[in-house]
Amino acid sequence: MKFLDTAKVYIRSGGGGGGCVSFRREKFVEFGGPDGGDGGRGGDVWAEAVEGLNTLIDFRFQQHFFAKSGQAGMGSQRTGASADDVVLRVPVGTEILDEDGETIIADLTEPGQRVRLAEGGNGGWGNLRFKSSTNRAPRHANPGQPGVERTLWLRLKLIADAGLVGLPNAGKSTFLAAVSNARPKIADYPFTTLVPNLGVVGVDGHEFVMADIPGLIEGASEGRGLGDQFLGHVERSRVLLHLVDGTSEDVATDARTILTELEAYSPLLAEKPRITALNKIDALDEDTIAERRAALEAEIGAPVMAISGVAGTGVQEVLRALWVEIAPSRAPTPDPEAEAAWRP
């Protein structure tokens, strides 16, 4: 399935049905009076977050979503039928933005969460509604309210507990494949990963979701390489795992490149908890590992872990360090009512 994380849609809610002008005419019923019914309500347009979806590919083939209008009122005081609603089913983690692409209308982060994007018009009143002591035979009715038409953007941000960042060929896909059942493409050339990948990682009886995004290069914030278009998918992560290629001649510069691009994209993303790991140590001797690890620690001002995604060296230690950052978000929220019930 092709990955698509941005889509433009055109929506329109249904208009209300018009009220009816009608008079009761039956044998042996004199001066029957008005009996025109109201029009039906137009359909709403909703967006709903559903499980089982991880792409907006469905909106590539259908961009227009128009709800039907309500039925017009009828005689004998019959109200017109209301139209059905239209529901856009989107993946969990979808942001809905206005036409300008910046104003956030809703952020659907939980399964079953719904938001009404366009409200259907009310049906018009029939002439029965206008009957009064001074107007016994009203001959007018209201038209239904028109529907609402909007142009919206859908933007998917994957929900993951941990996000992988690094230069192309830093070993991110290899690491994800080693710790989860995900099977991203792995090859010995840059930009092997073209779309984000998700994997469920297990460590010490706990599970969390890890996201791997295409590698960043210097100038990604200016659109170079694949740009920073996929950084939004690690924006919701609790912690970032920054992998640095240990076989590089200048690991400090490589690390600084990634940190600069994170800061250029979003200061909040750059301030997230981050674990840095020197990867591919299976291809290095002990002296080289110590030298490059020290250079990396001096550059970022924080401890650096040494791992090998292929050999599995240090992988469990990294996963445990990630879980330490993720665990507080998994702690159950205390229930005041339950505590009060058990309190003596």
Q: Which residues are annotated as a binding site for GTP?
A: 166-173, 191-195, 212-215, 279-282, 308-310
User: What single-letter amino acid sits at 292?
Assistant: R
DSSP state string for 28-57: TB-S--B-PPPPPPPPPEEEEEETT----T
Annotated binding site for Mg(2+): 173, 193
Structure tokens of 7? Answer: 């889509």
Handedness of CA 184, 190, 195, 196 (dihedral sign): positive
Give the span between the Cα atoms of 94 and 109, in whole angstroms: 7
Q: What is the separation, in whole angstroms, between the first and last Cα of the chain? A: 57
Q: What is the DSSP letter of 156?
A: E
Query: How far is it between the farthest Cα atoms of the chain?
Result: 110
Long-range contacts of 98-105 (CB under 8 A, 24+ apart): 98/150, 98/152, 98/153, 99/150, 99/151, 99/152, 99/153, 101/153, 105/152
Annotated binding site: 166-173, 191-195, 212-215, 279-282, 308-310
Q: Is 105 helix (H, G, I), strand (E, B) or coil?
A: strand
Give the span between the Cα atoms of 261 and 298, in whole angstroms: 19
Q: Is 231 helix (H, G, I), strand (E, B) or coil?
A: helix
Q: Which residue has the tokens 């035979």?
A: 137
Please provide residue 125's backbone torsions phi and psi, each rounded to the nearest 5 degrees. Answer: -80, 140
Structure tokens of 147? Answer: 């529907």
| Cβ atoms within 10 Å, residue 333 | 5
Give the span between the Cα atoms of 336 and 137, in whole angstroms: 61
